[in-house]
Structure formats: structure tokens, C-alpha cells
């Protein structure tokens, strides 16, 4: 096929960014994208094989937990454009080190350099930003003076942003960390000539329903369900964002983070220290690994199993509250939502 193929990889925000890019580009082009998060050596070929003949744009998500996987996926999809959403500690146990994660994500850049492709780079990101020096003409966002500039105007809980034309756009995405994903989609939309009003409308109309920054109203409570996956970087961002949320009563429910290897104890202890610094009204911890957090936060309600947690939650009557629920996929903490009353 001879169309633009946009590869999306990174430690956090891949699927949300992919969905937003798809929504924006679909305002002008017949756009095909990865279904759900089928982003590995099996899912990616299936995505390409399901592409219709009249497709004008392809947005392909690429995931990895070992060195060489992004390189392999690039060899299959042959992307013409690419974006690394950010680089954090996801799958650090299987990668072996943070340095290896940087090398792995950089495999996309090496592919683009080899074929003369285009890289979209977040100039504000402390790790990905400096990578702009690899390219003669990187497409930068979202800082003032970049190819595309926008600013966050609020996140309580939904993000509002000031677009390049000065409009304030309100979204259905919760969590300040999602601003970078929005900015990426708007940048790519501008690059491919999508009208800014159409792009803003596409972003405003996108509503996550996949346990990624999903806001659920369960009167009298508001639940921020972010239980699709978790790693040290995304967990810290979620806790920090929730701490800034304006609510009279806040409840945090966290589960284990997986794939951390020999760093699993230290990373869970670090989050325990972070929780200790916050002023949440109640903290519930579930799983074997999060027990490490109780050394730093002994006041937390700890339950080894999800069933014990659900029993405790269902037998507690909460005042009108905001809830944060986050854990790795294997914990299945979305089932806790039904128990909240």
C-alpha cells in the first residue's frame, strides 16, 4: 500500500493517542487504525490485513516488552510517520532496565531515519523531547513556537484546552496526563491539513469507554476508572492528578503493578511514599505486591485478594465521593465499581 502509515508507540497513552489521531484524521480521510490494543506481532499484521482498499490513512499502534520488537513491527508495517508518546517504566522487568526501554522505543526513530520518515515529537517531554536532535526537520508540539501549540486550560476532572486558534475546547478525557495525547492528535491533524475546527470537534466528541481514564457517574459518586493497565510512571501520574482534583471526599483503590522484575518491591514502596504525602480520605490496596505500600502507609486498608476488597467496599457506605481505581490488567479491579454504594 502507498499511503501514510502513522506508527504510535510509547510507555503510556498509546491506545488513547491512537484513538484520538484516528478521530481527527477521519474528519478528512478514510482512516484505518488498530482495533482495541492489538499491537503486537500477531495483532499488527491482522490490522494491516483488515485494511480496506480505499483506505487513505493508517494509524498503527505498536507495543513491546522486549528489545527488538518495535524494530520487527516496523519491518512489517513500514511506517512513514511515527510518534513516541512518552517513555516510562512500563515492562521494566522484561526490558531489564530503563535504558533498554529508551533503546526499544527508539527503534521507531531508527526506522524513520532509515526511510526518510517524519517524527512527531513532544518537545516538553524530558526523555522524548531531546530526541528531536536526531532529525533534520522534526514536527514538534505543544510548546509555544512549535509546529503546533496548545495549552491545557483545566482538568477537573475533564480536560479543557486552549487550541491554536484560541478556542477553549472541553473534552471527555480525564487526567492532566491525557493533555499530551490530545496535543499529539491535533498536531498530526494539522500536519495532514485537517481543519482546526474539525479537529477540535473530533477531540471534544471522543469519549473513552475502555477502562482508560474512564469517568463513571454512580450517584452520588464519581469514579475515575483507569484499570486497564498500570506501571510506575502511569500510577504516579494518576495519583498526582487525582490529588489535584477538587472533591470533598476522595477514595483511592489501587492494585498490583506487574512486569517490574527485581524492581517490583522498590517501585511499590515508592508509591507508598507518594500516597503518604497526599491527603486522601481513604486508601484501599489489593494484591500481593501492594502490601509493600503499607510499610509507608500503614493506615491503608489492605486486602490480599480482589474478593476480599469487593466484600469490604460493598459493606461500606461512603459519603458522596470521588474514586480512583487503578491497577495492572491482571487484577481486574473494574469489578470493584459494582460494589461501590
| Alpha carbon distance 319, 148 (integer Å) | 43
pLDDT at 212 over 90: no
Contact 6, 82 (CB under 8 A): yes
The pLDDT value given to residue 153: 97
Task: Read off the pLDDT of residues 165-209 as tens digits, 9 standing for 90 and up.
Answer: 999 999 999 999 999 999 999 999 999 999 999 999 999 999 987
What are 251's three cell numbers?
Answer: 477514595
The pLDDT value given to residue 91: 86
Give me the phi and psi of 54, to 5 degrees please. Answer: -90, 10
Q: What residues contact residue 166 under an 8 Å CB cut-off, 6+ apart?
A: none
- End-to-end CA gap in the chain: 52
What's the whole-model pTM score? 0.90
What are 302's three cell numbers?
Answer: 489492605
Alpha helices per DSSP H over 62-97: 69-77, 92-95
| Alpha carbon distance 341, 328 (integer Å) | 24
- In the chain, where are the structural domains located? 5-205, 214-339
The SS3 of residue 23 is: helix
Contact 292, 300 (CB under 8 A): no
Contact 85, 8 (CB under 8 A): yes
Q: With bands split at pLDDT 50, 70 and 90, how would you rate the model's confidence at 238?
A: very high
Task: Read off the pLDDT of residues 136-168 as tens digits, 9 standing for 90 and up.
Answer: 999 999 999 999 999 999 998 899 999 999 999
The pLDDT value given to residue 297: 85
The pLDDT value given to residue 178: 94
Contact 339, 303 (CB under 8 A): no
Task: Read off the pLDDT of residues 19-60 as tens digits, 9 standing for 90 and up.
Answer: 999 999 999 999 999 987 788 889 999 999 999 999 999 999
| Alpha carbon distance 17, 290 (integer Å) | 29
Phi-psi region of 242 (alpha: psi -120 to 50; beta: other; left: phi over 0): alpha
Q: pLDDT > 70: what percent of the chain? A: 100
The pLDDT value given to residue 79: 98
Name the β-bridge partners of 46. Answer: none
Q: With bands split at pLDDT 50, 70 and 90, how would you rate the model's confidence at 76?
A: very high
Instruction: Name the superfamily (CATH) of residues 214-339.
Output: Mur ligase, C-terminal domain (3.90.190.20)
For 233, the enclosing helix (H) or strand (E) is: helix 232-244
Q: With bands split at pLDDT 50, 70 and 90, how would you rate the model's confidence at 222?
A: very high
Cα torsion at 321, 333, 310, 207 (round to 10°)? 40
Task: Read off the pLDDT of residues 280-332 as tens digits, 9 standing for 90 and up.
Answer: 999 999 999 999 999 888 889 999 999 999 999 999 999 999 999 999 999 99
**CATH fold label, 5-205:** 3.40.1190
Average pLDDT over every residue of 236-251 = 94
Phi-psi region of 207 (alpha: psi -120 to 50; beta: other; left: phi over 0): beta
| Alpha carbon distance 341, 338 (integer Å) | 8
Give me the phi and psi of 36, to 5 degrees please. Answer: 50, -125
Amino acid at each position: 500500500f502507498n499511503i501514510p502509515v502513522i506508527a504510535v508507540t510509547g510507555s503510556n497513552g498509546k491506545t488513547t493517542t491512537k484513538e484520538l489521531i484516528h478521530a481527527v484524521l477521519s474528519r478528512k480521510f478514510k482512516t484505518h487504525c488498530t482495533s482495541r490494543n492489538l499491537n503486537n506481532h500477531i495483532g499488527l499484521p491482522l490490522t494491516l490485513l483488515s485494511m480496506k482498499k480505499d483506505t487513505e490513512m493508517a494509524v498503527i499502534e505498536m507495543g513491546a516488552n522486549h528489545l527488538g520488537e518495535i524494530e520487527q513491527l516496523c519491518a512489517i508495517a513500514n511506517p512513514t510517520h511515527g510518534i513516541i508518546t512518552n517513555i516510562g517504566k512500563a515492562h521494566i522487568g522484561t526490558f531489564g532496565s530503563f535504558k533498554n526501554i529508551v533503546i526499544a522505543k527508539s527503534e521507531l526513530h531508527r526506522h524513520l531515519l532509515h526511510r526518510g520518515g517524519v517524527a512527531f515529537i513532544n518537545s516538553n517531554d524530558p526523555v522524548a523531547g531531546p530526541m528531536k536532535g536526531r532529525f533534520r526537520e522534526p514536527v514538534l508540539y505543544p510548546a509555544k513556537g512549535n509546529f503546533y501549540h496548545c495549552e491545557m486550560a483545566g482538568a477537573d476532572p475533564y480536560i479543557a484546552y486552549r487550541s491554536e486558534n484560541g478556542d477553549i475546547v472541553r473534552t471527555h478525557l480525564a487526567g492532566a496526563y491525557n493533555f499530551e495525547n490530545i496535543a499529539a492528535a491535533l498536531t498530526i491533524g494539522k500536519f495532514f491539513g485537517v481543519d482546526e475546527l474539525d479537529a477540535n470537534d473530533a477531540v471534544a466528541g471522543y469519549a473513552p469507554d475502555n477502562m482508560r481514564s474512564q469517568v463513571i457517574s454512580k450517584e452520588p459518586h464519581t469514579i475515575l476508572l483507569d484499570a486497564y493497565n498500570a506501571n510506575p510512571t502511569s500510577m504516579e501520574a494518576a495519583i498526582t492528578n487525582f490529588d489535584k482534583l477538587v472533591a470533598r471526599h476522595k477514595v483511592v483503590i489501587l492494585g498490583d503493578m506487574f512486569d517490574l522484575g527485581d524492581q517490583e518491591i522498590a517501585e511499590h514502596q515508592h508509591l507508598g511514599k507518594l500516597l503518604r504525602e497526599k491527603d486522601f480520605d481513604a486508601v484501599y490496596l489489593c494484591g500481593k505486591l501492594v502490601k509493600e505500600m503499607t510499610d509507608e502507609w500503614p493506615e491503608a486498608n489492605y486486602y490480599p485478594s480482589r474478593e476480599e476488597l469487593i466484600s469490604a467496599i460493598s459493606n461500606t457506605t461512603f459519603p458522596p465521593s470521588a474514586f480512583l481505581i487503578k491497577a495492572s490488567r491482571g487484577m481486574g479491579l473494574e469489578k470493584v465499581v459494582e460494589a461501590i454504594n
